[in-house]
Amino acid sequence: MKSVLFLSIFLCMMTVPALGELLPEDLDKIRLIVKEEVDPIKAEITEIKQDIATLNGRVDGIGGRIDGISGRIDGISERIEGIEKIITWLMVLIVVAVGVPQVIVAWRSRKDREQDKKIEELTREIEALKQQRIVNP
């Protein structure tokens, strides 16, 4: 118990100087140290502000370029739409140019088949009549 009492008294004696007030010289030293640390930070902040201003200028320049590119893209898009219309009309033209003759050829071939059937029937009838004439003169 005695050792705890001595230890606590010893610790209290060690903390007594910490409770003392700051002298004006101490405050001046602290101000000098803070000033030495603040000045470089202020210089760095100024440099950072300049860098930000430079970056803002670059961003504005890039924004202008993007606007120009956007205009070009719009022009290209319009050209592509025109080309799509032309291709669509060409496809229609090709379909008509190929399809219509195919329809005409199919119609004619059907007509030709009908005529061939009629010719065959008439040929058979003629042959039958010739046979009858030969048999019954």
pLDDT tens for 43-65 read 899 999 999 999 998 988 898 88
Percent of the chain with pLDDT over 90: 31
DSSP letter (8 states) at residue 20: S
**How confident is the model at residue 81, as a pLDDT?**
94
Direct distance between the N- and C-terminal alpha carbons of the chain, in angstroms, rounded to an integer = 165
pLDDT of residue 48: 93
Helix (H, G, I), strand (E, B) or coil at 21: coil
Return the top range by mean pLDDT from 7-21, 77-91, 96-110: 77-91
The reply to whether the predicted model has a pTM over 0.75 is no
Instruction: Give the other-Cβ count within 10 Å of 53's Cβ.
Output: 10
The answer on pLDDT for 115 being more than 70 is yes
Rounded-to-integer distance, Cα 38 and Cα 30, Å: 12
> What are the structure tokens assigned to 15, written together?
């903390």
Could you give the C-alpha distances from 79 to 5, 18, 73, 85, 91, in angstroms and in order?
96, 83, 10, 10, 18
